Amino acid sequence: MKRTIAPTRSNLLKLNDELKFATLGRELLDQKRSILVVELLTLVDQAVDYQGRVDKALKQAQDSMQHTVMEMGRLKVANLFGAVTIDSDIRLTERKVMGVRLPRVETSFTEGGPYFSPEGTTLSVEETLRGYRDALAQMGRLAELKVSIMRLAREVKKTIRKVNALEKIVIPELKEARAFMQSRIEEAERESFILMKLVKDRMEKAREQEKEGE
């Protein structure tokens, strides 16, 4: 494609500028890829940790629920938890990493409690509620991490494709076009030099012939 451009010094300068720009773009994209990969790996480690926390919190809440049922009876627990009113508020914000929007999830709860009394309601009810509430809060953080990981992974993939396109297609083509144009310019300059030398030799020869004729 570049070979259709006229092999002139001005076009060669433009081609050099394009090559510099493409090389700089590749370097910047490569830096972006490195930063995104570091952030991605960090979030993956955190997600693994929070997955373990969520699993543990849910198991503890379920064990607490079973203990409460054994203490109070299934029907009484069902009636009590049916009357529990806990309002949850999930606040979504975001942060940016190299232009990638990553979510922040903040979960808070508002409740009326306590939900125990001397008439047969035990402290285990509070422990069960607290267990599920804590599990839900950590699940919000886990969801934040998983969405962030998906977005970062998608951006890393796109960045790698761009780097590969510059490295394997754009930059080699520009270098090839530059080399071709440079060789054509040098060839044209050599031809011009030879032509000028021939003209000069003929002019000198003509002048000598004029002198001899005098």
> What's the pLDDT at 122?
63
Task: Give the pLDDT band of residue 83 (cuts 50, 70, 90).
Answer: low
Structural domain boundaries of the chain?
Answer: 9-167
Looking at residue 152, what is its pLDDT? 96
Q: Is the pLDDT of residue 1 over 70?
A: no
- How far apart, in whole angstroms, are the C-alpha atoms of residue 118 and residue 87? 26
Q: In the chain, which ranges are continuous DSSP H helix?
A: 9-72, 74-83, 123-165, 171-213
pLDDT tier for residue 115 given thresholds of 50, 70 and 90:
low
Torsion 13-18-19-21 (CA) sign: positive
Domain 9-167 has CATH 1.10.287.3240: yes
| Mean pLDDT, the chain, integer | 85
Q: What pLDDT, on the 0 to 100 scale, is given for residue 2?
A: 45
pLDDT over 80 at 31, yes or no: yes
DSSP state of 22: H
Higher pLDDT, 78 or 128: 128
Percentage above 90 pLDDT, the chain: 44
pLDDT of amino acid 38: 95
Residues in the chain: 214
Report the predicted TM-score, pTM, of the whole model to 2 decimal places. 0.73
For 68-82, letters b (16+ CB in 10 Å) and e give bbeebeeeebeebee
